[in-house]
């Protein structure tokens, strides 16, 4: 059975930077830079321009990961697209990214499978686990795993929505998972979920249990959407408590099952939801700052894109090199969580 390793990484962020002060001065949100930094560690985030969708944002990240893997897009056997902010309700972002990569065009078109993953902040690790299984079983040789998010299109830019709006930014990250006979790669993955907390962090706009799922405003087909359905809802204390507990458990389970000591891990890649959560997890597990990498201060929470952008940054800056042992962990809405151990 072949091993599955990450053969290429890539990332892309929009040019526009929105600082904490910008949220107050440009959008009129009653907040301060100090208030946001104290609670989240976030100083700024990036917003995509009008007209750019989630799949389009992912193209440069995907192209960079494919090139760094020494491949062409047509070499891919599968595209996995993790997002909570798809371009539209359906079809999914994976097929849109496939089209934008141009693999279906020309004299030698490729029609590899393309699948969306809707596990929010844990989406990338669910995608990495899926890609690893596909490669290890021999079904695929090269799988593109993408995390791409455009949150700025669906945030409440009023003081009413500041608790959520201050957290999120736009970005895309990607990796290619490839087969190898070398003794390296993804050593294991661990996924979990607790559906009892589905209402603690949600965005209810497409609630098909309602009839109709949007209140019709007129016979012309226009609909009226209540703020409770239109904007994200978060029970912050519940999310904070469960995130710490589940991230610690997932990391400990990973190390236990692979007979690995935390001290043996060279780099910890935590999902970037809140700097305070990550600091608490690191403190609980006695992980030194020198083994952590962060980008939440400059990018905010980019959900499915946080871990792949961190991996790309770490490779580009020399923080992550061949032979290092890497631990990844994430927690998100659902609640869902995941961890992975990789020998780079």
Catalytic positions = 121, 271, 301
| φ/ψ of residue 243, rounded to 5 | -60, -45
The encoded tokens of residue 17 equal 């930077």
Q: Indicate if the alpha-carbon torsion angle 80, 81, 84, 86 is positive or negative.
A: negative
End-to-end CA distance of the chain: 18
- Specify the length of the chain in residues: 344
**Cβ pair 4, 342 in contact under 8 A:** no
142-149 and 78-82 strand pairing: parallel
174-202 burial code (b ≥16 CB/10 A, e <16) = bbbbbbeeeebbbbbbbbbbeeebeebbb
């Amino acid at each position: 059975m072949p091993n599955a390793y990450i053969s290429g990484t890539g990332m892309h962020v929009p040019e526009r930077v929105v600082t904490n002060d910008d949220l107050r001065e440009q959008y009129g949100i009653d907040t301060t830079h100090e208030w946001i930094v104290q609670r989240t560690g976030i100083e700024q985030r990036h917003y995509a321009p009008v007209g750019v969708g989630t799949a389009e944002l992912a193209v440069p990240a995907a192209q960079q990961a494919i090139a760094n893997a020494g491949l062409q897009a047509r070499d891919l056997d599968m595209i996995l697209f993790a997002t909570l902010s798809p371009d539209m309700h359906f079809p999914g972002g994976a097929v849109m990214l496939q089209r934008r990569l141009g693999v279906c065009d020309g004299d030698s078109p490729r029609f590899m499978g393309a699948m969306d993953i809707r596990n929010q902040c844990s989406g990338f690790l669910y995608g990495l686990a899926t890609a690893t299984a596909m490669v290890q079983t021999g079904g695929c040789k090269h799988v593109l795993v993408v995390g791409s998010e455009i949150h700025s299109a669906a945030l409440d830019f009023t003081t009413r929505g500041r608790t959520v709006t201050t957290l999120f930014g736009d970005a895309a990250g990607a990796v290619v998972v490839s087969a190898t006979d070398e003794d390296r790669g993804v050593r294991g993955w661990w996924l979990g979920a607790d559906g009892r907390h589905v209402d603690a962090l949600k965005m209810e706009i497409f609630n098909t249990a309602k009839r109709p799922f949007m209140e019709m405003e007129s016979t012309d087909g226009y609909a009226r959407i209540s703020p409770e359905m239109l904007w994200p809802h978060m029970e912050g204390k519940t999310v904070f408590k469960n995130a710490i507990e589940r991230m610690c458990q997932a990391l400990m389970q990973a190390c236990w099952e692979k007979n690995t000591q935390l001290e043996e891990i060279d780099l910890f890649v935590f999902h970037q939801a809140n700097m305070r959560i990550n600091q608490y997890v690191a403190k609980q597990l006695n992980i030194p700052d020198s083994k952590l990498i962060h980008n939440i201060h400059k990018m905010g929470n980019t959900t499915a894109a946080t871990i792949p952008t961190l991996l790309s940054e770490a490779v580009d800056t020399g923080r992550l090199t061949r032979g290092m042992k890497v631990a990844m962990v994430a927690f998100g809405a659902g609640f869902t969580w995941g961890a992975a151990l990789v020998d780079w």
